[in-house]
Structure 1
Amino acid sequence: MISEWQNHKKQLRQYISKRLDDASAIDDILQDVYLKASSKRHQLKSTDSLLNWLYRISHNAIMDYYRQRKTYEALPDNLAAQQENKDSHARQELAQCLVPLIKELPEKYAIALQLSELEGMPQQAIAQQLGLSLSGAKSRVQRSRVKFREHLLRCCDFEVGQEGVNACVPKDARSPHKC
């Protein structure tokens, strides 16, 4: 193995040096390649494919080097709280925009939708507050959502992409529907 290694060592060094930006790591990787090749010699099918096999081991060693070297910035401890605050603020802004549209629905649907979607009230609590059965409250909330969606589609054209709604444009400012 040593004589074969000596025959290919120069080629492997050039191969590794072209792929690394750290000259001091070339010899370390070359040594790793030799150790892996020596310990896995039994996996080599024929000596005709030795050079290709050594190149594959070299390539894998280079990839391992870059994976280990990858640096990561420490994430702030309050990152999750920051994201929650942003999400909460966005929901509040959206809710302020939707309240006038929800109020245009018939009262029984507007109340159910506001309690469910804007106040986040569980449907069991909605049922108790409105004097409905649980299944009645669920149906009311579902019909409210359908009516609200129909109202929005009458008023606006939506552009939808992979992230959700990209744009909302009123269809006609002169429309009899408030949008």
Structure 2
Amino acid sequence: MISEWQNHKAQLRSYVSHRIDDADAVDDILQDVYLKASGNMHQLKSKGSLKGWLYRIAHNTIMDFYRQRQQFEALPDDLVAEEQESGKQAREELAECLRPLIDELPEKYGTPLRLAELEGVSQQAIADQLGLSLSGAKSRIQRGRVKFRQQMMACCDFEIGQEGITSYAPKDPLQRAKC
């Protein structure tokens, strides 16, 4: 293994150093690659594939290096968890805003969508309640979502950011109560 390693070490160092900006980390990664390769030689299928196998180990080791290097900010000690009820209240308020638009959908799509999205009923329970197969209930919920989205897009202009919808305004100011 040592003689084969010496044949590929310079190329692997170049490969790793082009992907890692820390010279000390390059040496550490090369050492990890050597240890992983020497400990798993039994997994190598043929000598002809050694170079590719070493590069795959090097690539995976580089990915591990970046995963471990991710910075996380510590949460402040005075951070208090929000109460569960506030989330429930917000969902109920949102449901009341969306309910009129869902009610405008054809009943075969509006009812399953309302049950699934606003009331939190499982799709199997919706299928049982409406006398549908599970796939039929799923299909109606999906189609209801598509129709609801079309309705929303026809009714309002949305501003979307990284956090989701950041703002919206009715396309027709006279429709404000509806949207």
Could you state the TM-score of these two structures normalised by the residue count of structure 2? Answer: 0.53
Q: Larger C-alpha radius of gyration, 1 or 2?
A: 1
Offset at residue 103 of structure 1 (A): 0.3
- In the TM superposition, 1:1-179 aligns within 5 A as 73=77, 79=81, 82-173=82-173, 178-179=178-179
CA 1:168–1:74 in structure 2 vs 1: closer, same or farther (change >3 Å)?
closer
Q: Percent identity?
A: 59
| TM-score, with structure 1 as normaliser | 0.53
Cα displacement string for residues 86-128 of structure 1 (whole angstroms, at most 9, x for unaligned residues):
2111111100101111101111111011000001111000000
Residues in 1 aligned to 2:106 and 2:98: alpha-carbon distance in whole angstroms: 15
Please state whether the residue corresponding to 1:160 is helix, strand or coil: strand
CA-to-aligned-CA distance 1:10-33 (integer Å, 9 cap, x gap): xxxxxxxxxxxxxxxxxxxxxxxx
Provide the rounded CA distance (Å) in 2 between the counterparts of 1:74 and 1:101. 41
- Secondary structure, aligned partner of 2:157: strand
Deviation at 1:173, TM superposition (A): 3.4
- Please report how far the alpha carbon of residue 133 of structure 1 lies from its aligned counterpart in structure 2 after TM superposition: 0.3
Give the SS at the match of 2:158.
strand
Q: CA deviation at 1:74?
A: 5.4
Using the TM superposition, give the Cα deviation of residue 83 of structure 1 relative to its aligned residue in structure 2, in angstroms: 3.7
Residue 174 of structure 1 and its aligned partner are, at CA, apart by 5.1
Q: Distance in 2 between matches of 1:169 and 1:145?
A: 20
> Could you tell me which amino acid in structure 2 is paired with residue 126 of structure 1?
I
- How far apart, in 2, do the equivalents of 1:106 and 1:75 lie? 45
Distance in 2, matches of 1:145 and 1:122, equals: 15
What amino acid sits opposite 1:92 in the alignment?
A: E
* RMSD, aligned α-carbons: 2.0
C-alpha distance in structure 1 between counterparts of 2:97 and 2:78, whole Å? 37
- For 1:73, give the aligned amino acid: D
Number of residues of Structure 1 aligned to a counterpart in Structure 2:
103
Q: Which amino acid aligns with 1:152?
A: M
The answer for unaligned runs of 5 or more in structure 2 is 1-73
| CA–CA distance in structure 2, aligned partners of residues 173 and 74 of structure 1 | 43
